[in-house]
């Protein structure tokens, strides 16, 4: 979704469901740490605010955004969380490297969601500049980590309601 005229943390008039009792894994890229740590903090704080126990928030780090899907698969296999949030930041450069990374992460997470039948949340920032990344990691456009946590909660609650 475009964030030019929208704050990532505006969820409208519908309150977020409770996250009490949910186990949520968060996979965090170590590349662009200033951004990814802000995203993690936003996601973790949102989950706790919605009732998720800090002990039920599982975190692992991976070297870069390209490694997010494999890290997400490993934590899903070993810890059996209700959802996996993947947080990273790839800033557009002068080469097509950006396109390959973003596409691989997107496709990888979609395939994992289908394979495991749990939400794998795409919390990858894909800005053109560092200023745009900062604006989406707690700046004027909110925090994509909070949006990712809210999406994870909503998807888990949706799934549990369908069982």
Contact 72, 86 (CB under 8 A): yes
Name the catalytic one among 6, 97, 115, 160. 97
Residues 6+ apart with CB under 8 A from 75: 25, 27, 58, 60, 81, 84
- 75: nearest Cα among 34, 107, 121: 121
Greatest C-alpha distance within the chain: 47
- At 86 the three-state DSSP class reads strand
Strand-by-strand arrangement of the 57-62 sheet? 57-62, 24-29, 83-89, 120-125
Kindly report the length of the chain: 163
How far is the C-alpha of 52 from the C-alpha of 46, rounded, in Å?
A: 9
97 catalytic? Reply is: yes
Q: List, by residue number, the catalytic residues.
A: 97
């Amino acid at each position: 979704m475009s964030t030019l005229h929208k704050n990532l943390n505006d969820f409208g008039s519908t309150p977020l469901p409770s996250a009490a009792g949910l186990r949520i894994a968060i996979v965090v890229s170590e590349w662009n740490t200033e951004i990814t740590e802000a995203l993690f903090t936003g996601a973790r704080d949102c989950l706790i605010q919605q009732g998720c126990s800090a002990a039920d928030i599982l975190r692992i780090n991976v070297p870069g955004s390209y490694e997010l899907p494999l890290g997400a698969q490993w934590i899903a296999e070993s810890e059996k969380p209700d959802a996996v949030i993947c947080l990273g930041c790839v800033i557009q450069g002068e080469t097509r490297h950006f396109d390959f990374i973003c596409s691989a992460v997107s496709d990888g997470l979609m395939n994992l969601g289908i394979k495991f039948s749990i939400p794998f949340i795409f919390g990858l920032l894909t800005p053109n500049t560092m200023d745009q990344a900062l604006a989406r990691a707690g700046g004027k456009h909110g925090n994509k980590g909070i949006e990712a946590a809210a999406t994870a909660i909503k998807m888990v609650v949706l799934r549990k309601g369908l069982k």
